[in-house]
Structure formats: structure tokens, C-alpha cells
Amino acid sequence: MAVSDSNGMKDIVALCKRRGIIYPSSEIYGGFANTWDYGPYGVLLKNNVKAAWWETMVKHRSDIVGLDSAILMNPKVWEASGHVTAFTDPMVDCKQCKRRFKADDIVDDPSTSRTSGTGRRCPECKGELTDAQQFNLMFQTNVGPVASENVTYLRPETAQGIFVNFKNVLDSTRVKLPFGIAQIGKAFRNEITPGNFTFRTLEFEQCELEYFVEPEKAEESFKYWVKEREKWYHTFGINSAKLRIKAHDKSDLAHYALSVSDVEYEFPFGWSELEGIANRGDYDLTQHAKFSGQTIDYTDDEGKKLVPYVIEPSGGIDRATLAFLVDAYVKEQVSRSAGQQVSEGNEERILLRLHPKLAPIKAAILPLVKKEPVVEIAKKLYEELRKEFFVEYDESGTVGKRYRRQDEIGTPYCFTIDFESVDDEAVTVRDRDSMEQERIPISSVADFLRKKLQ
Ligand code: ATP
């Protein structure tokens, strides 16, 4: 990442607010802890991240189908999955400053253990901590008017909606092993220590695939998906030096997981998980069969019945979006180039080098003068392009300022129209990253964009 400030995330958070990408939620009321709203450009960016995932995982594959299951589910689902009893974090409070922490995040401090007899002190004020209490991360709610009745939960992951629909998908489509069911949707976790901008929030979107395979092929499939998922982040622009795979030690795995690896990204606050890939064996289908009393299995072509194993790549759309933003952020000095028909000046610029497919706005149409027939040509081009692409028209201020604005929201191409366009029926296209400018016929602009967005 090319962030030049020492605070890491500060510049990105400021850019996101300034340019309508991400705002603090409920800001006029002082905000609401670790919830964020995606602004006009942020929603386009996030939708593009979802579309990129969906295209790769569903549209371009004949072995994966999609699903959109409900957020509220029968509470038995969460008993079967183990979330009611085991989806907990140990929590500690500081008796002095009253801050709350995940007990796992507290490291022993040898300087305090010598004086107080315990090495576990508040990381903020070194105060004494309470004993750890288990805290369930699920948001509980009630269906119907009586507060104590009909308890259920906001789903903490989308995966269970897939498992409980395994039989439905099998019975209503022509899927055959190996096959996957993919889903993007909201999930909710009452995180004790949310933070790092949109990295850890209470409400977030997940993108999950449950890929069902014959048990003996599970490890091979697991390895395949680890590579595929790392490749996806790289394909959509993330610098491969900032990506790594971290395999979990077998001794650290949950009892049902046979193998787990995370795709990690080097954020300014350190290497952190973008996505986890797990070989979950037949745990989930077996649990739901047990709790529902239904038979959940698969019959192969020879009539043999089996419970498939499942490989689960489980990612977060908000985390992926944040990684794409952080990785695309560049602050650089603009140097005057002889090749520029329109001078860019000699100043600092901030840009988001987003992959064109992820960029919220694909092109800006900028008339160089506010005079006819230049404006008319520019508006005609804009009207034509916006039938197919998210584009912007901007005629106010100097062209240099207009370029800077587009750079900051990651618009890959700007088309300028001038008096020459009247005679040569051409426009100048300016590339966001290289700032190189090229003259192309107006009639080829839509095709130019189509090719770049392939
Ligand atoms: P972490 O260790 O960071 O809490 P996790 O291992 O609990 O993550 P999973 O349960 O595997 O996460 O969830 C799959 C993915 O969902 C994560 O890799 C992440 O991208 C996303 N995710 C999970 N919790 C959050 C959260 N609170 N905010 C944003 N994204 C999240």
C-alpha cells in the first residue's frame, strides 16, 4: 500500500468521508459504535465487489448455484450448528477505566506481573481486570409481541442457510457431486472489540460458498479452493506481496474442522484475515439431520448413499472492499508531462488505483470549455454512455481539479471534449494511473470502455 501517513488508516478514512465512499453511521447523533454507512460511491464499489465475487463463483461456473436465504431462521438451526452453546468469546472488563476487551487479546505484561502477581492487566490503563466471562456473539431478538417468547437470532453467518437448504437444492435442481451453493448476505455479530474502520463491525456482509464433495476428495478440493480464493483477490487488483495464506495448526482447529487456511492481507494495522477456507467434513449436514430428524444425504449414480464433506471458503464483502481500497490508495507527486494535451500541473494527487471493474464510476465526461457546441457534444456522449455504464458529467472548475476529484474516487478514464472535437469528431481520453492522454474517435468511446471492463 502506498499510504504515506504514519497513522495507516487515517488518510483512507478521511478520503472515504470526503468523497462519499463510507460515512460513520448515525453521525448527526454522534455516531454508533463501529457501524458504517456506504455513501453514493461506496455502494457502487461494494456492489461491484459483490458482482466480482458472484461472477467468479456462480456465473462463470457450471458446478455452483446461488441462494438467498432469510436472516431470521428457526432457532433450532443455531442449536444444531453449535452457535447457541459455543459461539462465544471470553470477555474481561477493566475495573479502573471500565473498558471491555476480548480476553484472547490481552497479552501477559511481565512488568506488571512482577509487581501485582498477575500479568494480565488492562492494555489501556494497566488497571486490574475482572475474571473472564463467556459472552455469546449472537444478537438475540423476539418474533411477535411478547418479549420473552419466540426467541431467535440475527444470523451470525450465512452458511447455515445453505446447509438447511441442501435437500431443497438437491431435489429441485440437477446438481451432482461435486457442487457448490453460494450466497452473499448480511450477518450480525455482537463483537466485543470491533474496530479498524470497516474491518470488524457489528453488521457486515459475508460471501460464502459451501462446496460439497465426496469425502475422499475433500482434501484435494480444500487445497484447490485455497489457491482459487487467493487468486481472486489478486485478479481484482490486490498486490500479491500483500497477500498470504496462513494455515492453521491442526491442534488449534475446532473439533469438526479437518483443515483451515486463511487468506490474509497486510493492512496498515498488520496481517489480518480476509477470508477463511475450511474442510468441515460432514459435521454440518450430520448435525442438521440429527436436530431436524430428517435424512440429509446424497445418492450417487450407483445408488450408494453418502453424506458429502464440505469445503467452505467464507469471506467478508466489507473486509474485501476495505482491502481493495487500502491497496488502491496512492499519494504521489504529479510531474508535468510533455505528452499531456491538457496540463496536469505540478502538485500532489491522491488516487485510488482500483481495478476498472471495481471502480464506482467508469468514466467522466469533461467539456474543456462551457461553450456550445462543445457542451452539446459532451452531454450527448454522456447520455449515450450512461445507458450502459456508471459515468459522470462535470463541467465546473478547472480541468485539473476535475481530474483530481475523479482520481480520488478511482475513475479509470476521463474523456475531455474541446473545440477540436467539433471538427475531428474525436475526444481525449486520459488514463487515471499513467495520466497519459490519447485522442480517439467519439464513436469508439463505448467500445473502448467495454474492452477495458472485460
Ligand atoms: P475474525 O477471526 O476476524 O473474527 P472469524 O474467523 O470469526 O474472523 P469467520 O467466522 O470465519 O470469521 O467469518 C468469515 C469471514 O466473515 C471473515 O473472514 C471476515 O471476512 C468476515 N467477518 C467475520 N466477522 C466479521 C466482522 N465482525 N466484521 C466484518 N467482517 C467479518
Report pLDDT digits (tens) over 197-234: 999 999 999 999 999 999 999 999 999 999 999 999 99
Indicate if ligand 1 lies below 6 Å from the C-beta of 203. no
Q: What pLDDT is stored for residue 364 in this prediction?
A: 98
Q: What's the whole-number mean pLDDT along residues 397-416? A: 96
Ligand 1 atom nearest 201 alpha carbon: 28
Please determine, for residue 12, whether its predicted confidence score (pLDDT) is greater than 80: yes
Tell me whether residue 202 is annotated as binding: yes
- Tell me, using a 6 A CB cutoff, whether residue 156 lines ligand 1: no
Average pLDDT, the chain: 92
Nearest ligand 1 atom to the CA of 202 is: 27
The whole-number average pLDDT for the span 133-142 is 91
Instruction: State the pLDDT confidence band at 117, using cuts at 50, 70 and 90.
Output: very low
Nearest to 389 by CA among 397, 400, 381: 381
CA 431 to chain centroid = 26
Say if residue 411's pLDDT is above 80.
yes
Location of each CATH 3.40.50.800 domain in the chain: 343-452
Phi/psi at 38 (nearest 5 deg)?
-85, 125
What DSSP assignment string belongs to 41-104?
HHHHHHHHHHHHHHIIIIIT-SSEEEE---SB--THHHHHTTHHHH-EEEEEEBTTT--EEEGG
- Ligand 1 atom with least separation from CA of 206: 16
Binding site membership of 189 for ligand 1 (Cβ less than 6 Å): yes
Residue whose C-alpha cell reads 448435525 in the numeric block: 287
- Is 99 marked as a binding-site residue? no
Convert the pLDDT of each residue in 351-360 to its tens digit. Answer: 999 999 999 9
The pLDDT of residue 115 is 42
In whole angstroms, give the CA distance from residue 3 to residue 422: 42
| pLDDT of 336 | 59
**Spatial contact of 359 and 411, defined as CB atoms under 8 Å apart:** yes
Assess whether pLDDT exceeds 90 at residue 1: no
Delimiting residues of CATH 3.30.930.10 domain(s) in the chain: 10-75+149-326
On the question of pLDDT at 5 being above 60, the answer is no
Owner of C-alpha cell 464483502: 317
Q: In Å, what is the CA distance from 89 to each residue of 75, 193, 342?
A: 20, 10, 57
pLDDT at 221: 98
| Size (the chain), residues | 454
113 band by pLDDT with thresholds 50, 70 and 90: very low
**Is residue 425 part of an annotated ligand binding site?**
no
Model pLDDT for residues 310-335, shown as the tens digit of each residue: 999 999 999 999 999 999 999 998 87
Q: Give the per-residue pLDDT at 110.
A: 60
Mutation pick for ligand 1 pocket among 105, 210, 269, 319 (CB with most ligand atoms within 8 Å): 319
Question: What pLDDT, on the 0 to 100 scale, is given for residue 311?
Answer: 98
Tell me if 42 CB under 6 Å of ligand 1: no
Distant-in-sequence, close-in-space partners of 115: CB < 8 Å, separation ≥ 6: none
206 lines ligand 1 (CB under 6 A): yes
| Residue 52 CA, ligand 1 centroid: distance in Å | 19
Give the distance (Å) from ligand 1 centre to CA of residue 87.
13
Is CATH 3.10.20.520 the right assignment for the domain spanning 343-452? no
Is 420 marked as a binding-site residue?
no
273, 318, 324: residue to mutate for ligand 1 pocket, most atoms within 8 A of CB: 273
pLDDT for res 4: 38
Q: Could you tell which of 53, 314, 317 is best to mutate to test the pocket of ligand 1, judged by most ligand atoms within 8 Å of the CB?
A: 314
Q: Is residue 6 over pLDDT 50? A: no
Going by pLDDT thresholds of 50, 70 and 90, the confidence category of residue 147 is: confident
Measured from the Cα of 194, ligand 1's closest atom is: 27
Q: How does pLDDT run across 30-86, given as a tens digit for each residue?
A: 988 889 999 999 999 999 999 999 999 999 999 999 999 999 999 999 999 999 999
CA distance 129 to 195: 21
Query: 315 CB less than 6 Å from ligand 1?
Result: yes
pLDDT of residue 156: 97
Q: Is the CB of 158 under 6 A from ligand 1?
A: no
Q: Please determine, for residue 448, whether its predicted confidence score (pLDDT) is greater than 60.
A: yes
Kindly state the percentage of the chain with pLDDT values over 70. 93
Beta-strand pair 309-316/426-431: unpaired
Q: Which of 259-273, 314-328, 339-353, 359-373 has the lowest mean pLDDT?
A: 339-353
Average pLDDT over residues 386-396: 97
In degrees and rounded to multiples of 5, residue 344 shows phi and psi of: -100, 5
Measured between alpha carbons, how far is 64 from 440 in angstroms, rounded to an integer?
41
Hey, what CATH topology would domain 10-75+149-326 get?
BirA Bifunctional Protein; domain 2 (3.30.930)
Name the residue at shortest CA distance from atom 26 of ligand 1: 200
Instruction: Give the angle subtended at the CA of 447 by the CAs of 443 and 448, to the nearest 5°.
Output: 100
Residue 438 marked ligand-binding: no
**What b/e sequence results for 165-200 when a residue is b if at least 16 CB atoms lie within 10 Å of its CB, and e otherwise?**
bbbebbeeeebebbbbbbbbbebbbebbebebbbbb
Closest by CA to 397, choosing from 331, 328, 345, 449, is: 345
Nearest atom in ligand 1 to 189's CA: 27
Beta strands per DSSP E along 214-295: 243-247, 259-267, 270-279
Q: State the Cα angle at 199 between 95 and 83, rounded to 5°.
A: 70
Q: Is 350 annotated as a binding residue?
A: no
Q: What is the pTM of this model?
A: 0.92
